[in-house]
Amino acid sequence: MKKYFLLFWLLVAFGTITGSAQATDTAVAKIAGEWEIAQVVVRETSYDTHVFLKEYMLTDKSEIKKLKAGLLTEIIFGIYQYEVSRKGRRETGEFRWAGRSMVQLSRTQPEAQWSFVYEWEMPSVDKLIFRNPFSVYRDTVSGQLVRADYISHYSRKPKNQ
């Protein structure tokens, strides 16, 4: 009887592990492909007091590139590999799932390694949204520190491009 009980729990554990791996593989297949930035929503708050200052949207790619946030303007996801364009440079690395709706991008070049975790969602097969790490700058008019949060919206590039 103990053998059957043990066998039952081994099968349940194997099924759970297999199901988890399949879910991860499905997410990788879902996100795979080429993406380009379509718009960025910027939300600014006071760094010290967290008071909302303003929110605006940028859709012009030249305006988006002027932001000093190091936003990913193009992303290519493969099977646990990625390639991005940031500030006019191409970077490559690996990605992994870092929890539900979280993806960690890790650059693999030894001279400049980094790793960021992005919250993401995919409302449709051709739209990807990343919540980027925030940046802080000093407003030249008021002199106060400002926290800027960026939400990047990407469109899937057609396969023939």
Each residue's pLDDT tens digit, 11-59: 444 443 333 344 456 777 788 999 999 999 999 999 999 999 999 999 9
Q: 134 and 112 in one domain?
A: yes
**DSSP per residue over 23-59, as a string?**
HHHHHHHHH-EEEEEEEEEEEEEETTT--EEEEEEE-
| Assigned domain for 161 exists | no
Q: Which domain holds residue 67?
A: 33-156
| Assigned domain for 84 exists | yes
Domain with residue 105: its CATH number is 2.40.128
Q: 140 and 81 in one domain?
A: yes
Each residue's pLDDT tens digit, 92-148: 888 887 776 778 888 766 666 677 888 889 999 999 999 988 999 999 999 999 999
Identify any residues that bridge with 116 across adjacent strands, giving them in sequence order.
Answer: 105
- Output 17-23 pairs: Cβ under 8 A, ≥24 positions apart: none
